[in-house]
């Protein structure tokens, strides 16, 4: 694992919620903590289109704390890297497609 995911955060939150409860055993159908519903609700929140800005900020924050050597959001992409050349080519292709078909939204 090299980055935090919405599923991993939901799983840890479910584990913490269980640990703080008085339930004797963790199971997905437990009526006391209702762990399965809690977990799926957390995932639904992470997938909500209206929450994506905050979700990305949360993931960036957690990744910088848990996996600092794998994720550095402030690290600049070198201009001559393969990644930057791929991004430039994709942008050029997208611009070409948009100019040849003005009715298509991008």
Per-residue pLDDT tens for 88-105?
Answer: 899 999 998 888 876 655
Would you say residue 28 has pLDDT above 80?
Answer: no
Question: Which alpha helices (DSSP H) does the chain contain, by range?
Answer: 6-20, 35-47, 52-66, 82-100
Quote the pTM value. Answer: 0.59
Q: pLDDT tens, 54-101? A: 999 999 999 988 888 775 555 667 778 888 888 889 999 999 888 887
**Cβ within 8 Å of residue 22, ≥6 positions away:** 32
Q: Is residue 106's pLDDT more than 90?
A: no
* Structure confidence at residue 17 (pLDDT): 86
């Amino acid at each position: 694992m090299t980055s935090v995911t919405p599923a991993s955060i939901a799983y840890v939150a479910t584990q913490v919620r269980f640990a703080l409860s008085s339930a004797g055993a963790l199971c997905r159908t437990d009526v006391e903590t209702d762990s399965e519903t809690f977990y799926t609700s957390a995932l639904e929140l992470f997938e909500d289109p209206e929450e994506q800005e905050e979700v990305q900020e949360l993931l960036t924050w957690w990744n910088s704390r848990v996996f600092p050597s794998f994720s550095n959001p402030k690290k600049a992409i070198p201009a001559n890297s393969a990644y930057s050349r791929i991004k430039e080519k994709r942008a050029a292709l997208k611009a070409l497609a948009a100019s040849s078909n003005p009715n298509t939204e991008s």
